[in-house]
Amino acid sequence: MADEGEGARGAGYAELAAVGPYGVRPGHALITMVEPHPGHEYAYNRWYEDDHYYAGATAMPWMFAGRRWVATKDLQELRYPQESAVARPVGTGCYLSTYWVTEGRYDEHMKWTVAINKRLNRDGRVYQDRTHVFTAFQDHEATVYRDGAAGPRDFHALDHPYAGLVLQVVDAEGAEQRAELLEWLRSRHLPKRLSGSPAAMVTVFRPTPLPGDRMTYVKQVEGVDTRLTLLWFLQEDPCTCWEERFTGLDAAVAETGLGRVELVAPFIPTVPGTDRYVDRLR
Nearest C-alpha neighbor of 265 from the set 53, 89, 115, 5: 89
Q: Is the pLDDT of residue 1 over 50?
A: no
* pLDDT, tens digit, 9 for 90 and up, residues 65-81: 999 999 999 999 999 99
Q: Is the pLDDT of residue 30 over 50?
A: yes
Alpha carbons 236 and 239: distance in angstroms, whole number: 8
> What value, to the nearest 5°, has the Cα angle with vertex 87 and ends 261 and 174?
40
Percent of the chain with pLDDT strictly greater than 70:
94
Asked if residues 114 and 212 have their Cβ atoms less than 8 Å apart, the reply is: no
Give the pTM.
0.94
Nearest C-alpha neighbor of 167 from the set 248, 101, 218, 97: 97
Percent of the chain with pLDDT strictly greater than 90:
88
Q: Is the pLDDT of residue 282 over 60?
A: yes
Alpha carbons 42 and 276: distance in angstroms, whole number: 10
Q: How many CA atoms lie within 13 A of 150 on its CB side?
A: 3
Asked if residues 204 and 229 have their Cβ atoms less than 8 Å apart, the reply is: yes
* pLDDT, tens digit, 9 for 90 and up, residues 95-132: 999 999 999 999 999 999 999 999 999 999 999 999 99
- pLDDT band of residue 218 (cuts 50, 70, 90) is low
- Measured between alpha carbons, how far apart are the two ends of the chain, in Å? 54
Q: What is the mean pLDDT of residues 235-250?
A: 97
- DSSP class of residue 44 equals H
Looking at this protein, which amino acid is placed at residue 172?
A
The confidence score (pLDDT) of residue 12 equals 83
Q: Where are the beta strands (DSSP E) in 18-110?
A: 26-36, 63-70, 95-102
Nearest C-alpha neighbor of 263 from the set 63, 24, 76: 76
Nearest C-alpha neighbor of 237 from the set 70, 41, 98, 66: 70
